[in-house]
Amino acid sequence: MPHQNQFPNQFPNLLSTLLNNILANILTKISTNLKTSPFLNWSRYLLISCCLTILLLTASFLAPSPSFASLTDDRFDGNIFALYAGNGSLVPPRESLKESFDRNRPVILTFFVDDSQDCKKFAGVISQLQQYYGKVAAFTPINADTILPQPSYEKTDPGYYYKGLLPQTVILDQEGKIVFDGTGQIKYEVLDDVFREVFHLLPRTESVELKQRAFNEVNTELAP
């Protein structure tokens, strides 16, 4: 899975702005000189202007734009949850793993990178799950590029659960026990069934809607 540094994607925008300002200044000087000496240094100014125009057009072409965002390539387009799931609130996570453990909250870890078509396609599944479980479970998307390699990790470190394949989804129950660990395009129904077990909800075959079993005392916010 190719990882791409996000900083170079901002460079064409900066270069475009800089060249635009330089070109504007040069054109102003050309205009001033032509008024006093129409033929003085005309060829030199023309050559410089042409070169800067070419550079400006090149930088503008290279600059990333939301209008060219695509699910079918590994190009960096921006925050995949905002672009492809309409849910930019997922990142950064609202709480750390340790905070979730201290509150005895189930956690769904999603390892991703922004320049992966597989991760782009999977973003919508995580966003859909959050609509139903966002108030009772911690949704913790982790950009794999931010995981620093080290000899070992604590259970409160995302690196402890990361396998190196993307996208990867890990669900931990209220006790911090791994109840699901999968990679690739996982269907919404599969992850929903795991959460139903974690929260002791009726199985899908008995109820499509989120309804609690009568004997369960899980947070009533699960009911839509």
pLDDT per position as a tens digit, 96-126: 999 999 999 999 999 999 999 999 999 999 9
Residue 161 near residue 109 (C-beta atoms within 8 A): yes
Dihedral sign computed on CA atoms, order 90, 91, 93, 94: negative
Cβ(113)–Cβ(119) below 8 Å: yes
pLDDT classification of 219: cutoffs 50, 70, 90: very low
Helices (H), 37-160: 42-62, 80-84, 97-102, 117-133
DSSP code, position 13: H
pLDDT at 198: 97
Name the DSSP letter for residue 89: G
> What was the pLDDT predicted at 70?
78
Confidence of residue 71 (pLDDT cuts 50, 70, 90): confident
Could you tell me the residue ranges of all domains in the chain? 7-63, 80-222
Mean pLDDT on 174-185: 98
Predicted model pTM: 0.67
Model pLDDT, residue 9: 44
H or E stretch at 138: strand 138-143
In contact, 200 and 218? CB cutoff 8 Å: yes
**Which pLDDT score is estimated for 214?**
46
Task: Please report, for residues 16, 38, 45, 79, the alpha-carbon distance to residue 33 in angstroms, rounded to integers and kept in the order given.
Answer: 26, 7, 10, 47
Let me know: does 80 contact 120? Beta carbons within 8 Å: yes
Residue 141 has phi, psi (to 5 degrees) of -70, 135
Class of domain 80-222: alpha beta
135 has pLDDT over 90: yes
164-185 average pLDDT score:
98
Higher pLDDT, 151 or 206: 151
| Span 22-56, pLDDT tens digits | 665 665 665 566 555 555 555 665 666 666 666 55
